[in-house]
Amino acid sequence: MAKKQTAGRDNLGEFAPKFAELNDDVLFGQVWSREAEMSAHDRSLITCAALLAMGAPQLADHLKIAQQNGVTKQEVVELITHLAFYAGWPKAWSAFNLAKKVYGED
């Protein structure tokens, strides 16, 4: 099971306590913990794909989480290559630069 998430409370706990609670307890606590329904590995692939497609800066953090969840460099490379044609070439370039940092090749 994934480790207890505290990023919401750590970063927004005083400013936006309800959002922090929903982030830590619902999204990461209840949804990500449903590993009988879908593995953390697969959730990471899906999350990285969505964040790449949106061009969201959270992709950097989720690539680190993906690596911790067993997503290999080869899987990330394939994910980004595939999405380049659907999400856009510039987004793929940016994602590759992030992935190189996470997977230790930069």
Q: Can you give the residue ranges of every domain in the chain? A: 1-37, 39-106
End-to-end CA distance of the chain: 30
**Could you tell me the two tokens for 76?**
């990330």
CATH 3.40.50.410 for the 39-106 domain, yes or no: no
Spatial contact of 56 and 94, defined as CB atoms under 8 Å apart:
no
Listed residue (32, 37, 38) closest to 2, CA to CA: 32
Cα–Cα distance between 7 and 28 in angstroms, integer?
Answer: 10
pLDDT, one tens digit for every residue, the chain (106 residues):
456 788 899 999 999 999 999 999 999 999 999 999 999 999 999 999 999 999 999 999 999 999 999 999 999 999 999 999 999 999 999 999 999 999 997 5
Give the per-residue pLDDT at 106: 55
Total-model pTM: 0.89
Give the per-residue pLDDT at 7: 86
**Number of H-type helices and E-type strands within the chain:** 6, 0
